[in-house]
Amino acid sequence: MVPNFSLRQLGYLVAVADSGSMTAAAEAEHVSQAAISAGINDLERRLGVRLLARHPGHGVSLTEPGLGILADARRVLAAASDVLSQARAPGSDLRGSLALGCFTTMAPLYLPALYDSFAIQHPGLELTVVEGAQEDLRRALMNGTCEIALTYANRLGPGVAMEMIRTLRPYVLLAASHALADRESVTLHDLADEPLVQFSLHPSPNDIEELLRNAAVTPKVVHSSPNIEVVRSLVARGLGYSPMLQRWPMNVSLEGLPLVCVPLESTVPDYRVVVAWPQNDHLSRRAAAVISFLRTHATEHPIRAEAV
């Protein structure tokens, strides 16, 4: 059955959802407000559902059916863009746009290469990035805001496919002056009586709690922050230890104080960095190219916390 609505109408719906008003959507789409309103009214009529709740003087909001259709609309538009890209530039030349979600602490370690080297390889592809915690990225994948997301494999929930980028071994971040700083490895029992500085951006607290619980250690959390540099700076000042996954290139805090990364014993499970996407979605050429680039980048730039 051929749909009786247009890609343009779906684009109007996405524009309104992203901007929050008919006026702003019209500006973004370079059409009149009347064209936006007429297009969405016709889309509602053809679909048989109300997509938008109008609030005179206060913009619009999506209805519950509208939220569901919005996610599908984003995917349909992404697929259409992929078809157009393939038709106009067969082979390796990519065009169009791709929205990538990225776990916040991974952003400074992966995004510069995407914005630089990858952009040089694919100048016709527009890359936009949404940074956030795990639950933010899952929500963005499920509602179509992001096509793919770079994050950790754990706690993503059902309905998600993924491809591994690298595997990391947990370690403990310590001040260079710490009594255990010169050890080749430590156990969580070695630090059971010491204060813990917690990185609070999910899923990190849950993962650390699970590690501590499995080691039968009750943590003594003295500081908690969603800012990784705050955590690293507090540890560098000797205010506690912090179990970590992602290894920073330089073992100093922003204040210039030295830090030490001591591996946890080998019985602690490894963690996977992955690119994830909705399981039922077709992976576009653009997304596949980003995944391939990230895997190559990880291979060419190994880190000391990487499992082998």
pLDDT tens column, 92-139:
578 888 899 999 999 999 999 999 999 999 998 999 999 999 999 999
Maximal CA-CA distance, the chain: 71
**Closest residue by Cα to residue 290 from 97, 156, 88, 109:** 97
Q: At what angle do helices 33-47 and 7-19 cross, to 10 degrees?
A: 110
Asked if the model's pLDDT at residue 1 lies above 60, the reply is no
Asked if the model's pLDDT at residue 239 lies above 70, the reply is yes
Q: Give the residue-averaged pLDDT of 39-44.
A: 87
Q: Give the residue-averaged pLDDT of 157-168.
A: 93
- 260-277: b (≥16 Cβ within 10 Å) or e: bebbbeeebeebbbbbbb
278 Cβ partners below 8 Å, 6+ apart?
Answer: 75, 141, 142, 159, 160, 161
pLDDT confidence of residue 308: 43
Q: Same fold for the domain at 89-166+272-300 and the one at 170-269?
A: yes
CATH of 7-68, one of 3.40.50.2000, 1.10.3720.10, 3.50.50.60, 1.10.10.10: 1.10.10.10
pLDDT confidence of residue 90: 54
186 contacts 262 by C-beta, under 8 angstroms: yes
Please state, in angstroms and rounded to a whole number, the distance separating the CA atoms of residues 37 and 39.
5
Select the more confidently predicted residue: 282 or 250: 250
* Architecture category of domain 89-166+272-300 in CATH: 3-Layer(aba) Sandwich (3.40)
Please state, in angstroms and rounded to a whole number, the distance separating the CA atoms of residues 167 and 106.
13
Please state, in angstroms and rounded to a whole number, the distance separating the CA atoms of residues 77 and 224.
41
Q: What is the percent of the chain with per-residue pLDDT over 90, rounded to a whole number?
A: 45
Token output for 276: 């994830």
State pLDDT tens for residues 169-205. 889 999 999 999 999 999 999 999 999 999 988 777 7
Asked if the model's pLDDT at residue 246 lies above 90, the reply is no
State pLDDT tens for residues 210-223. 888 888 888 899 99
Please state, in angstroms and rounded to a whole number, the distance separating the CA atoms of residues 181 and 177.
7
Q: Give the residue-averaged pLDDT of 149-177.
A: 93
Q: What is the percent of the chain with per-residue pLDDT over 70, rounded to a whole number?
A: 94
Q: What CA–CA distances, in Å, run from 25 to 7, 70, 73, 89, 129?
A: 15, 15, 16, 29, 20
Domain segments of the chain as ranges? 7-68, 89-166+272-300, 170-269
Q: What is the dihedral of CA 247, 248, 251, 256, to 10 degrees?
A: -150
Number of Cβ within a 10 Å radius of residue 36: 26
At the fourth CATH level, which superfamily is domain 170-269? Answer: Periplasmic binding protein-like II (3.40.190.10)
State pLDDT tens for residues 55-103. 776 778 888 888 888 888 887 877 777 676 665 555 557 888 889 999 9
Residue with tokens 């984003």: 74
Q: What is the pTM of this model?
A: 0.74
Q: Give the residue-averaged pLDDT of 9-37.
A: 86
Question: Residue 186: which region, alpha, beta or left (left: phi > 0; alpha: psi -120 to 50)?
Answer: beta
